[in-house]
Amino acid sequence: MLGGMLPVISTLTFKGLNLSIVISRQLFYRRLPGGIFAPGKF
């Protein structure tokens, strides 16, 4: 039963990690003056 849940858990943690990276990157870009590297504004 645990073996069947393992891919789901790993996928969820990978997506969560990806999401947190995106969010932190957006916060980082938003702090830059002038917003030259502004992909974090959407």
Higher pLDDT, 41 or 17: 17
Q: Alpha-carbon distance 42 to 39, whole Å?
A: 7
Please state the separation of Cα 34 from the chain's center in Å: 23
Determine which helix (DSSP H) or strand (DSSP E) holds 33, and give its type and residue range.
none
pLDDT at 20: 84
Rg of the chain (C-alpha set): 16
pLDDT at 28: 73
Question: What average pLDDT does the segment 24-33 reach?
Answer: 71
Higher pLDDT, 31 or 39: 31
